[in-house]
């Protein structure tokens, strides 16, 4: 199981360096990426980069970020408990096997199931493989699967738990693969984390064989961060709408064959009604309250399966996540 707490920093600043009143930060996991999207000090660069550094035990990614990290005064203290076979839940990636995380896990997993047959017999790169469960599933049908992720603990975990999956630690904007070496690139719930999305798309075009497919899923900005064009989630750099995703792909030399959306199916719609209009908000509220979850909420979350989501073409702006199927021209 996972428990996580953070102390209050002694000063907070906005991105332009002006002071910000320190808010209380509460990280109550598991609640997937949403717990981060709603943390209390979202505008503060110190909080954001402190969390990034302490979660990942690595320097920040841009020279200006290193400067920000160096001015930190009061490191957040974190405690993450997990067993040997479960990758610690940090908010940056979902993991299987944690009942309270199950809604987010299944919402990610459904995209892998949807594209499984497209990968049959093909050489697949999973760009940003996280815990490794998706690559494990793809490996049941693909000709070959290679994973790239830059997180040391995720890479070590994947190697230990899924030893048949080939994984390399690397940055997606500089893929450690030769030109024209794969048929499919799978990139699920990652592009919103990247500092240079255009460079990543260019790298996909480089490593794909002519006619190869790029499959991308990502939270739909319109429903994930309503009314905002800058993400609250400190792991996200830029979230996309369906139109913005299309523009990014076409600009990078891809043809978008299909733009699909992940939606709640009938049972999740019933759970939305049962939990006051939003099953997601009910989970967030309980996570942020610091109280133990009610037994029936835990049971409802633990009972979700991928069949409770629908993947549809119409009404893309109302979808929860986007799923783009694009082809290298």
Determine, following the binding rule CB under 6 A, whether residue 154 of this chain makes contact with ligand SAM: yes
How many other CB atoms are found less than 10 A from the CB of residue 50? 26
Nearer to ligand SAM, 17 or 63 (CB): 63
Interacting residue with ligand SAM among 171, 298, 306, 310 (CB under 6 A): 171
Determine, following the binding rule CB under 6 A, whether residue 93 of this chain makes contact with ligand SAM: yes
Q: What are phi and psi of 155, to 5 degrees?
A: -65, -45
Determine, following the binding rule CB under 6 A, whether residue 149 of this chain makes contact with ligand SAM: yes
**3-class SS letters over the chain:** CCCCCCCCCCCEECCCCCEECCCCCCCCCCCHHHHHHCCCCCCCHHHHHHHHHHHHCCCCCCHHHHHHHHCCCCCCCCCCCCCCCCCCCCCCCCCCCCHHHHHHHHHHHHHHHHHHHHHCCCEEEEECCCCCHHHHHHCCCCCEEEEEECCHHHHHHHHHHCCCCEEEECCCCCCCCCCCCEEEEEEECCHHHCCCHHHHHHHHHHHEEEEEEEEEEEEEHHHHCCCCCCCCCCCCCCCECHHHHHHHHHHCCEEEEEEEEEEECHHHHHHHHHCCCCHHHHHHHHHHHCCCCCHHHHHHHHCCCHHHEEEECCCHHHCCEEEEEEEEC
Position closest to ligand SAM via CB: 130
Determine, following the binding rule CB under 6 A, whether residue 193 of this chain makes contact with ligand SAM: yes
Nearest approach in angstroms of CB 189 to ligand SAM is 4
In the region spanning residues 104 to 123, those forming contacts with ligand SAM, defined by CB under 6 A, are 108
Nearest approach in angstroms of CB 274 to ligand SAM is 27
Nearest approach in angstroms of CB 61 to ligand SAM is 7
* Residues 261 and 323: beta-carbon distance below 8 Å: yes
Nearest approach in angstroms of CB 128 to ligand SAM is 3
CA distance 17 to 1: 37
Nearest approach in angstroms of CB 29 to ligand SAM is 14
Determine, following the binding rule CB under 6 A, whether residue 129 of this chain makes contact with ligand SAM: yes
Determine, following the binding rule CB under 6 A, whether residue 153 of this chain makes contact with ligand SAM: no
Nearer to ligand SAM, 76 or 125 (CB): 125
Interacting residue with ligand SAM among 188, 224, 279, 293 (CB under 6 A): 188
Nearer to ligand SAM, 44 or 215 (CB): 215
Nearest approach in angstroms of CB 121 to ligand SAM is 22
Determine, following the binding rule CB under 6 A, whether residue 190 of this chain makes contact with ligand SAM: yes
Q: Which stretch binds ligand SAM (CB under 6 A): 3-11, 36-44, 183-191, 314-322?
A: 183-191
Determine, following the binding rule CB under 6 A, whether residue 130 of this chain makes contact with ligand SAM: yes
Nearer to ligand SAM, 8 or 99 (CB): 99
CA distance 254 to 204: 10
Nearest approach in angstroms of CB 25 to ligand SAM is 21
If we measure between CA atoms, which residue out of 188, 214, 9, 47 comes closest to residue 119?
Answer: 214
Nearest approach in angstroms of CB 137 to ligand SAM is 11
Determine, following the binding rule CB under 6 A, whether residue 91 of this chain makes contact with ligand SAM: no
Interacting residue with ligand SAM among 90, 92, 157, 256 (CB under 6 A): 92
Q: Which residues bind ligand SAM (CB under 6 A)?
A: 92-94, 108, 128-130, 134, 149-151, 154, 171-172, 188-190, 193-194
């Amino acid at each position: 199981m996972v428990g996580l707490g953070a102390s209050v920093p002694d000063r907070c600043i906005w991105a332009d360096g002006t002071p910000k009143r320190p808010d209380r930060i509460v990280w109550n996991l598991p609640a997937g990426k949403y717990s981060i999207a709603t943390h209390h000090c979202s505008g503060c660069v110190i909080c954001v980069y402190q969390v990034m550094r302490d979660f990942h035990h690595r320097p920040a990614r841009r020279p200006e970020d290193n400067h920000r990290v160096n001015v930190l005064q009061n490191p957040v203290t974190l405690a993450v408990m997990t067993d040997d076979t479960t990758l610690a839940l940090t908010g940056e990636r979902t993991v299987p096997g944690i009942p309270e995380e199950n809604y987010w896990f299944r919402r990610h997993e459904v995209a892998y199931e949807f594209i499984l047959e497209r990968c049959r017999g093909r050489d697949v790169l999973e760009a940003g493989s996280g815990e490794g469960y998706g690559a494990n599933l793809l490996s049941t049908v693909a000709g070959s699967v290679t994973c790239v992720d830059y997180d040391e603990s995720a890479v070590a975990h994947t190697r230990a738990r899924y030893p048949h999956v080939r994984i390399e630690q690397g940055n997606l904007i500089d893929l450690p693969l030769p030109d024209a070496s794969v048929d499919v690139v799978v990139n699920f719930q990652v592009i919103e984390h990247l500092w240079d999305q255009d460079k990543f798309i260019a790298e996909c075009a480089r490593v794909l064989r002519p006619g190869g497919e790029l499959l991308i899923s990502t939270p739909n900005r319109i429903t994930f961060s309503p009314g905002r064009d800058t993400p609250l989630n400190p792991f996200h750099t830029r979230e996309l709408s369906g139109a913005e995703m299309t523009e990014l792909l076409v600009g990078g030399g891809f043809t978008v064959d299909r733009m699909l959306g992940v939606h709640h199916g009938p049972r999740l719609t019933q759970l939305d009604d049962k939990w006051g209009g939003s099953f997601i908000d009910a989970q967030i509220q309980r996570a942020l309250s610091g109280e133990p979850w009610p037994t029936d909420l835990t049971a409802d979350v633990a009972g979700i399966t991928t069949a409770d989501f629908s993947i549809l073409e119409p009404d893309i702006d109302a979808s929860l996540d986007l799923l783009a199927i694009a082809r290298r021209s």
